Each structure stands twice: as C-alpha cells, then as structure tokens.
C-alpha cells in the first residue's frame, strides 16, 4: 500500500480565494499545498477584462490575473498541484481527503476554496449538444470565437449575461438575449452597455423551450410567457449565463450549508463548524462573489488557519 502523504495546510481550489490563502499561508510558513481542481485559476480564466480588481488601473485579463496570483503564491513556497479532490473526511484527526479518487492525503488544516460552477437550464437538447461540442456553451469568452459572423442566443440577465452578450456582439452578426422577466438583474452600467449595442436584441419575458439541431445548434424555440407566443430563432450558438452553483457536494453532510449548497461560516470569519476547516471565496459567499472579495476571504482563511494551528499541540 502506498504511503499516505501528510500536509500541514491543504488548500482546495485555485481561484482568487485559494491563491490568496496560499500567499498568506506560505508567508506564515504553513507550507501550503494547493490542489487546483479541474479548472486551474477558476472562473476568472473564463472572463476577458477585469476592470475592478484593485491595483490594475488599466484593467487586466482574467487569465493573466490568475497566472500572477499563482506565481505570487509559488514565490513564497506554495506547492501548486493539478488534481481534483473527490472525497473528504473532515471529522477525522488529522483530516483526510482523496485526490482523483486514488491519492489519500491527511491534513492538519484545510482551507476550502472550491468556488462555484455554471448553472444550466436542464433541457435535454442543451445537455446533449453541450456534451457533443455542438454549440452550447456557458463561456462566451472561451467559445464565442467559433461563432464569428454568425447569429447566436444567450440566456440570462445578470452581469455575466450582460458582459457575455456585449462580448459576443463584437464577434457575431447578431445576439438574441433571452430574459425571463421584464427587467434585468445586471448593474445599470452593464444594462446600458447592452441596450446601447445595436446588434443585441432583447427578448423580454421569454423562456427557452427547446434547442434545435441534431449535431449542432440550428435554432432555439423561445416562448414569451406574457403573450403565450412561441417563435424560433435561427442561431448557431447558444450561450447560458444564468448563475452558478457552489462546488461543495463532497462536503455535504459534514459542513453546514444553506439550501443552495453554500457553506455556512461563523459570521465575520472563515470558520466552518468543524475545527481547523475554513471556507473562503464563492463556495461560501453568495452575496458579493467578486474576485476581490474572494481574495479578501482567502486572506481571512489563511489567518484563521494560522491562528487555529497555533492552538494545536502538534504543528
Ligand atoms: P446572477 O445570479 O447575478 O444572475 C443570473 C441571471 O440568470 C438572472 O438574471 C436570472 O434571472 C437568470 N436566470 C437564472 N435562472 C434562469 C433560468 N432557469 N432561465 C432563465 N434565466 C435564468 O449571476 P451572474 O453570473 O450574472 O453574476 C454572479 C455575480 O458575479 C453577481 O454578483 C455579479 O454582479 C458578479 N459579476 C460581476 C462582473 C463584473 O463586475 N465585471 C461580471 C460578471 C458577474 P432573474 O433575474 O429573473 O432571477
């Protein structure tokens, strides 16, 4: 049987929260090891310009910001490893986790920064075409390029949908924005950007009934639930931007969570109900969900972990 590796401070997840926790933990000599998950750098690697992260007066792209945070964490000795934590036993001492179903690790303290993942509508053709790379995507920045000069549709009305619709409008001939209510949730600035983009057409009070196409998207059936009218949009790409779900399933039953799966922490801290286990970033924060608030909570997680370890007999 292979030897089980012991880690003093394990950080799960590689978004702004995880890397910031790593910077602080490494500088406090906690010898952190960070497992990236399947999307190293997290959600920001799927975005374009980030204009609201302090310290970048001219803005920065999401992928470069994440590379910078990783380099900063490594500079102080964080070991960054590619791998997905698939199981956890947080109640044992030391805590135990399994990476990629096989590698077993024990840890004195764990900082959970697993973030959140895109939500889907749940339509059968959405899943089928998404799985077959048939033109259904939750990331305009990743996939918009494939629809250059074409007509596409996007669902959602938050900041993500507004940002992605304007991004797509630069590449595509036309963008249909399917909004389920008579107003948008996005900030006023983002809404104005959408409304002032001539090749975005908003379909208010509308829901997606079906996505057409065998191997690739050929159209979308949209129903206006106020008038009861259905119509088919002839599009080749279908983008979904309807929010996110926290990546916390592996901790279910061990940590307190709300009904959406966000981990509950002691207010004003990163402490979960299990001693030595801390939650930071989008896996617990459903209110702010910004890169900078995630980074701030990552700092809190490392400081809380450091203080907790100092109270333990072996560290
Ligand atoms: P949000 O939860 O803010 O918005 C989700 C949107 O999708 C809402 O308009 C919602 O409609 C709609 N929606 C949800 N479910 C469905 C469904 N089944 N069918 C149709 N529409 C649906 O998520 P975002 O990803 O947009 O944003 C998350 C957070 O990240 C926010 O706090 C946002 O401000 C932030 N953000 C900031 C950015 C920036 O500052 N540059 C960029 C992107 C995000 P309804 O309104 O009716 O509920």
CATH code for the domain of 215: 3.50.50.60
pLDDT score for 131:
78
Looking at the structure, tell me whether residues 103 and 190 fall in a common domain: no
What is the rounded end-to-end Cα distance, in angstroms, of the chain? 26
Query: Which of 114, 182, 180, 171 is closest to 137 using CA atoms?
Result: 171
Listing DSSP states for 181-214 in one string gives SSS--S-HHHHHHHHT-TTEEEETTEEEEEEE-S
pLDDT score for 305:
98
Query: Which of 92, 111, 108 is closest to 19 using CA atoms?
Result: 111
Write down the pTM of the prediction: 0.74
Report d(CA 80, CA 60) in Å as an integer.
Answer: 23
For atom 46 of ligand 1, the residue with the nearest CA is 185
Of the residues 206, 240, 274, the one at which a domain ends: 240
Residues designated as active site: 139, 142-143
| pLDDT tens-digit readout, 211-265 | 999 999 999 999 999 999 999 999 999 999 998 899 999 999 999 999 989 999 9
Looking at the structure, tell me whether residues 294 and 205 fall in a common domain: no
Identify how many contiguous H helices and E strands the chain contains and give both numbers: 7, 19
Q: How many domains does the chain have?
A: 2
176 is in which domain, residue-wise?
Answer: 120-240
Q: Is 161 in the pocket of ligand 1 (CB under 6 A)?
A: yes
Looking at the structure, tell me whether residues 95 and 10 fall in a common domain: yes
Report d(CA 265, CA 303) in Å as an integer.
Answer: 15
Report d(CA 104, CA 85) in Å as an integer.
Answer: 10
pLDDT score for 52:
83
Per-residue pLDDT tens listing for the chain (315 residues): 567 999 999 999 999 999 999 999 999 999 999 999 998 998 788 666 677 899 999 999 889 999 999 999 999 999 999 999 999 999 999 999 999 999 999 999 999 999 998 899 999 999 999 878 789 988 887 688 889 999 999 999 998 899 999 999 999 999 999 999 999 999 999 999 999 999 999 999 999 999 999 999 999 999 999 999 999 999 999 999 998 899 999 999 999 999 989 999 999 999 999 999 999 999 999 878 789 999 999 999 999 999 999 999 865
By residue count, the chain amounts to: 315
pLDDT score for 294:
96
Residue with tokens 């949730």: 185
Of the residues 195, 223, 240, the one at which a domain ends: 240
Looking at the structure, tell me whether residues 176 and 28 fall in a common domain: no
Q: What does DSSP say about strands 200-203 and 174-178: parallel, antiparallel, or unpaired? A: parallel
Hey, which of 162, 242, 289, 293 would you mutate to test ligand 1's pocket, going by the most ligand atoms within 8 Å of its Cβ? 242
Q: Is 156 in the pocket of ligand 1 (CB under 6 A)?
A: yes
Distance 88 CA to ligand 1 centre (A): 30
Question: Measured from the CA of 181, which atom of ligand 1 is nearest?
Answer: 47
18 neighbors 39 (Cβ within 8 angstroms)? no
Q: Is 118 in the pocket of ligand 1 (CB under 6 A)?
A: no
pLDDT score for 47:
65
Give, to the nearest 10 degrees, the angle between helix 16-27 and helix 291-310. Answer: 40
Looking at the structure, tell me whether residues 236 and 292 fall in a common domain: no
Looking at the structure, tell me whether residues 217 and 249 fall in a common domain: no
- Sign of the torsion angle spanned by Cα atoms 269, 270, 271, 273: positive
284 neighbors 15 (Cβ within 8 angstroms)? no
Distance 180 CA to ligand 1 centre (A): 12
For atom 34 of ligand 1, the residue with the nearest CA is 159
Looking at the structure, tell me whether residues 29 and 72 fall in a common domain: yes
Of the residues 214, 240, 266, the one at which a domain ends: 240
For atom 38 of ligand 1, the residue with the nearest CA is 159
Looking at the structure, tell me whether residues 78 and 154 fall in a common domain: no
Q: Is 181 in the pocket of ligand 1 (CB under 6 A)?
A: yes
Report d(CA 69, CA 299) in Å as an integer.
Answer: 13
31 inside domain: yes
Looking at the structure, tell me whether residues 285 and 141 fall in a common domain: no
Q: Report the alpha-carbon angle 84-88-90, nearest 5.
A: 140
223 inside domain: yes
Looking at the structure, tell me whether residues 128 and 234 fall in a common domain: yes
DSSP 264: P
Looking at the structure, tell me whether residues 140 and 228 fall in a common domain: yes
51 inside domain: yes
315 inside domain: no
């Amino acid at each position: 049987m292979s030897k089980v590796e012991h880690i003093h401070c394990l950080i799960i997840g590689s978004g702004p929260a995880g890397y910031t926790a790593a910077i602080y933990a490494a500088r406090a000599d906690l010898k952190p090891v960070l497992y990236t998950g399947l999307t190293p750098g997290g959600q920001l690697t799927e975005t374009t310009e980030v204009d609201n992260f302090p310290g970048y007066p001219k803005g920065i792209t999401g992928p470069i910001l994440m590379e910078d945070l990783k380099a900063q964490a490594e500079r102080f000795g964080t070991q960054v490893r590619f791998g997905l934590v698939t199981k956890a036993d947080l109640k044992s001492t030391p805590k135990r986790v399994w990476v990629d179903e096989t590698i077993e690790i024990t840890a004195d303290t764990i900082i959970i920064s697993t973030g959140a993942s895109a939500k889907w509508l749940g339509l059968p053709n959405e899943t089928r075409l998404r799985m077959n790379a048939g033109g259904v995507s939750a990331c305009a920045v990743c996939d918009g390029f494939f629809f250059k000069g074409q007509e596409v549709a996007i669902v959602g009305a938050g900041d993500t949908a507004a940002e992605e619709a304007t991004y797509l409008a630069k590449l595509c001939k036309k963008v249909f924005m399917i909004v389920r209510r008579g107003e948008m949730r996005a900030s006023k600035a983002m809404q104005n950007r959408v409304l002032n983009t001539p090749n975005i057409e908003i379909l208010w009070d509308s829901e997606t009934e079906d996505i057409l196409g065998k191997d690739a998207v050929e159209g979308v059936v949209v129903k206006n639930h106020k008038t009861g009218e259905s119509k088919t949009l002839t599009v080749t790409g279908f983008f979904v931007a309807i929010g996110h779900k926290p990546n916390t399933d592996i901790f279910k039953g061990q940590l307190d969570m709300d009904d959406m799966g966000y981990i509950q922490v002691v207010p004003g801290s990163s402490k979960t109900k299990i001693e030595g286990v801390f939650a930071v970033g989008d896996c617990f924060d459903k209110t702010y969900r910004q890169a900078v608030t995630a980074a701030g909570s990552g700092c809190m997680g490392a400081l809380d972990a450091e203080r907790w370890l100092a109270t333990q007999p072996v560290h």
